Chain A
Amino acid sequence: MLRFIIRRLLITIPTIIVVITITWGLIRLAPGNFYTGDKALPEAIEQNIREKYGLDETWHQQYLRTMGHVLRLDFGTSLKYEGQSVNTIIARSLPVSATVGILAYLLALAVGITVGSIAALKQNSKWDYASMTLAMLGISIPNFVLGPILVLFFSLTLYWLPPSRWDGFPSKSVILPVITLSAIYMSYIARLTRAGMLEVLRSDYVRTARSKGLSETQVVIRHALRGGLLPVVSYTGPALAFLLTGTVVVERLFALPGLGNYFIQASLNRDEPLILGIVAFISMTLLTMNLLVDIAYGYLDPRIRH
């Protein structure tokens, strides 16, 4: 197990280097520069900027310097938000994204597993068909269509919830973003749970548990769920990637000051340090979470030990 973790951690570093290299390459290969605007700068000013940011060095010198900074997790200051270091911006916006993301995932787990298990236990019933159609709908309706429709209904018609704004965690402003974000996972998790449970409910060990005389509740909760949820656990990896795109949309829709919103702004502004910082941070988070998922998988399913 330890060897597996160490090996995986060793792959993580090259992967991050690849991501940063691609991102850096794209930024540098694109025509123009971060300081080029509608008006041409006076030559002296342009020269000063080029000197300050070391743009006259050879490209590999610049690449190595950037890489050195990234590997030391020192991304420098933002080009657009003057005087703010990239690390400050990440530290400030991460809690917003993380709150929305984690709450959405928890909601999706709770609803998805419940609905999926009920659908599996009452296979081919009205409940089963209704919930699976609803789940397919949840997968098909993009979150930036769902979000405004919810806003239209709950904010602009019923006046219950704010249409956009961020008031911190325990506040009404969290509800709509979280529901919008979690709809798609909820649907996926419900489908995965149903499929996993159906497979497990027919297996021998569940029959053994039943024949021991355990109550149906105990069979489902103690025995079937553990095996039936394996697909849900392995979905966590892809879910994180979805979460990433999802939070970007939700943060734009509801004007939340989160990481995704900053990332889009940074891309539009060509704010190289901020782009690299956020990309590196997101990649590290994704890779770490994927590793944790694999470890958890090994514990849940003793057949898969690394």
Chain B
Amino acid sequence: MDDKPPLISPQKPEPAFTPSGTPPAPPIRPREGDVIHTGPELAVGEADVRSAERGEFVAGTSLWRDAWRRLLKNRLAVFGMVIVATITLGSVTGPFVIKQVTGLTPDYIPTNIAALKSLPPFTAPDGSFSWLHPMGTDNQGRDLLARVLQGGQISLMVGVIATLMSLIIGVSYGAVAGYFGGRLDSVMMRLVDVLYSLPYIIIIIVLLSMFRSQTARGQLILLFLALGSVSWLTMARIVRGQVLSLKNQEFVLAARATGVSTPRIIFRHLVPNTIGPVIVYATLTIPTIMLTEAFLSFLGFGVQPPIASWGSLTTDGIQNIAIFPWQLICPGLTMGLTLFALNFLGDGLRDALDPQMRKF
């Protein structure tokens, strides 16, 4: 064992200093007798270790390639990623494809009187098997698959836009509080504490019911604003914590010494370094917001017709649960599957980007 050459040769060239990135880690110099684990969690693959044993240069892996590799090892996360990608693609292109293939649009109401009723999945108006409506039709005879896919556009859009809003507010707020520290920080964070303890869902319901917009588009915008403006609190806390631990590192000092302006230090030097936890939390925020949107639509405060989301389609389905159960089950399970996949993806990303946070 002792006559083996060290795993990583001490002559390894120093990694180049990256101006805005994290400072270079000190080179690892294993001493004799050190046990070096080369399990799957380590960035260096086996091939790299072998080439290192021969004294060759080991190509460094970036945080992202490293995380990507870990993510691909997590079967559930890959499953989540595939489902999310499929449903997103299906929602974006689906209504168009259906129109090309069958000529049906989400709001097409058949002129044939026999088809003017809710058909079960895979059934033609005369009761025989048909591929025309894989999810059946709704009360007016509209194709449910097309409606579910179009509803997916709205649900995903609400989730993504409101999350982006919470991202922008939360990251700037947290970064400013963390960077300046002191009294400003305590005032800003005390405000977050107070907002945290508000029953915000109640306030959203009051907001949406009082300012009910006359147009469906107006209501949708109101929904974005309402959801985005309440979901940035945790993001602000996470970013603040990250910035607090980063701001005293040398690369910030170097930036300051070279005369970089304060906003530039915050947004070009500190914020990019918080991106890992931010991505993880944002991925987990999307399903939460989609669920809240569906909840509000269920209560009748969410998206208004003619716009439909998964939440409002499900709610329409609940009315007919006893006679046409597919009207609830198809949109409901599509939404459930998407949230399920997003949650797995979020968990996988957390394990991949932040292995220390990993819950075994």
Contact = CB atoms under 8 A, between A and B. Distances in A.
Interface of A: 11, 14-15, 18-19, 22-23, 26-27, 29-31, 123, 136-137, 139-142, 144-145, 148-149, 151-152, 156, 194-195, 198-199, 241, 244-245, 248-249, 252-253, 263-264, 267-268, 270, 275, 278-279, 282-283, 286-287, 290
Contacts of B209: 267-268, 270
Interface of B is mostly: helix
B205 A267 contact: yes
Nearest to B202: A279
A267 B206 CA distance: 6
Given A149-B332, A270-B209, 12 more contacts: A11-B194, A18-B198, A30-B210, A140-B339, A140-B343, A144-B318, A198-B360, A249-B295, A270-B210, A278-B202, A279-B202, A287-B197
A264 B205 contact: yes
Contacts of B339: 139-142
B202 A244 contact: yes
Complex A-B, nearest 10 residue pairs according to Cβ-Cβ distance, in ascending order = A30-B210, A145-B332, A140-B340, A140-B339, A267-B209, A195-B359, A141-B336, A198-B360, A144-B298, A148-B321
A19 B198 contact: yes
Given A140-B339, A198-B360, A152 B325 contact: yes
A244 B205 CA distance: 12
B343 A136 contact: yes
9 contacts: A23-B203, A27-B206, A144-B298, A148-B317, A244-B202, A248-B299, A263-B205, A270-B210, A282-B202
Contacts of B205: 263-264, 267
Interface in B272-329: 287, 291-292, 294-295, 298-300, 311, 314-315, 317-318, 321-322, 325, 328-329
Contact of B197 (A149, A199, A290): A290
B295 A144 contact: yes
Interface magnitude class on chain B: 35 or more
Contacts, number: 129
Contacts of A283: 198-199
B291 A142 contact: yes
A245 B295 contact: yes
A144 B315 contact: yes
B207 interface: yes
Contacts of B198: 15, 18-19, 22, 283
A244 B201 CA distance: 9
Of A11, A141, A244, A253, chain B has the most CB atoms within 10 Å of the CB of A141
B225 to A, nearest CB: 13
Contacts of A275: 206
Contacts of A19: 198-199, 203
Interface of B: 194, 197-199, 201-203, 205-207, 209-211, 287, 291-292, 294-295, 298-300, 311, 314-315, 317-318, 321-322, 325, 328-329, 332-333, 335-337, 339-340, 343-344, 359-360
Of B194, B298, B317, chain A has the most CB atoms within 10 Å of the CB of B298
B318 A279 contact: no
A136 B341 CA distance: 9
Nearest to B329: A149
B312 to A, nearest CB: 11
Of A30, A152, A245, chain B has the most CB atoms within 10 Å of the CB of A245
Contacts of A22: 198, 203
A258 B144 CA distance: 34
A144 to B, nearest CB: 5
Contacts of A290: 197
Nearest to B200: A241
Given A244-B201, A286-B199, A287-B197, A264 B343 contact: no
Interface of A is mostly: helix
B328 A145 contact: yes
Nearest to A11: B194
A137 B203 CA distance: 28
Contacts of A241: 199, 201
B335 A142 contact: yes
A282 B194 contact: no
Contacts of A139: 339, 343
Nearest to B360: A198
A2 B337 CA distance: 48
Contacts of A279: 199, 202-203, 206
Of A14, A19, A27, A249, chain B has the most CB atoms within 10 Å of the CB of A19
Of B198, B202, B311, B343, chain A has the most CB atoms within 10 Å of the CB of B202
B206 A142 contact: no
Of B206, B209, B287, B340, chain A has the most CB atoms within 10 Å of the CB of B206
A144 B340 contact: no
A263 B204 CA distance: 12
B321 A151 contact: yes
Nearest to B336: A141
Nearest to A269: B209
Contacts of A287: 197
A253 B201 CA distance: 18
Contacts of A270: 209-210
Contacts of A286: 197, 199
Contact of A148 (B211, B328, B337): B328
Given A23-B203, A249-B298, A264-B205, A18 B194 contact: yes
Contact of B344 (A136, A142, A144, A152): A136
A134 to B, nearest CB: 11
A142 B294 contact: yes
A27 B343 contact: no
B197 A123 contact: no
B40 to A, nearest CB: 15
Nearest to A267: B209
Nearest to A32: B210
A137 B336 contact: yes
